[in-house]
Amino acid sequence: MIRAATPADVPAIAALIRQLAEYERLTHTVVFTETDLHQHLFGERPYAEVLVAEEVGAIVGFALFFHNYSTFRGKPGIYLEDLFVIPAARGRGYGKALLRAIAQLAVERGCARVEWSVLNWNAPAIAFYQSLGAEPLTEWTVYRLTDTALDRLARS
C-alpha cells in the first residue's frame, strides 16, 4: 500500500534515509536529525512531502519529493529527491507504485514533469527508470553549492 507519510512515520523515514545513504556509499554526508526532518516535512512551512510503501504494516520504502517550477513550460514540476525500497522488499512493485503515485500527483496538480537524479554507477536504478519510459538528460550537468562555498557566496 502507498500512502502519504504522517508525523508518526518520521523515525521510519529517517531509518530508510540512512539505509539509502549506506547503499549510495554516502553515510559520511548524513547529518540530519529526526527533529529537523519532522519540522521540514510537517512544520509550519513544509519543504517536502513523503509517500511511504507499507507491507503488512511495516514501512518498506519511501519517496521524498517537492515542487519546482519550469519557466519554459510555465508550470510546476515535481522533483523526486529520494526513492528507496529496502532490499528485502525489492522486486515486489513498491518502487513502481511509489513512482506511479508521484506521477498521479503530478497530473492532478497540473505539473509539466517529474525529474530526479541517479548516480551514474547505479545500473539497477537506471534500468528500472528506463523501463518506465524515463530518459536521461545527458546535455545537463548538475551543480551544487554547499557548506563553505554556500556561506562564502551568501556573504559576498
Helix axes 34-42, 10-23, angle to 10 degrees: 110
10 Å CB burial of residue 142 (0-12, 13-18, 19+) is exposed
Residue 7 domain boundaries: 2-155
Q: For all residues of the chain together, what is the average pLDDT?
A: 95
Query: In this predicted structure, what is the pLDDT of residue 109?
Result: 97
Q: Give the model's pLDDT for residue 75.
A: 97
Given 47, 69, 79, 129, the catalytic residue = 129
Q: Work out the number of other CB atoms within 10 angstroms of the CB of residue 96.
A: 13
Cβ contacts of 110 within 8 Å, gap of 6 or more: 75, 76
Number of domains composing the chain? 1
Question: Buried b vs exposed e over 41-61: b needs ≥16 C-beta within 10 Å?
Answer: bbeeeeeebbbbbeeeeebbb
CA distance 117 to 10: 23
Looking at residue 9, its amino acid is D
47 is annotated as an active-site residue: no
Give residue 149's Cα distance to chain centre: 24
CATH number at residue 126: 3.40.630.30
Tens-place pLDDT, residues 79-113: 999 999 999 999 999 999 999 999 999 999 999 99
Query: Which run of H or of E encompasses 51?
Result: strand 49-55
Q: pLDDT tens across 2-23, in order? A: 999 999 999 999 999 999 999 9
Task: Determine the pLDDT at residue 130.
Answer: 94
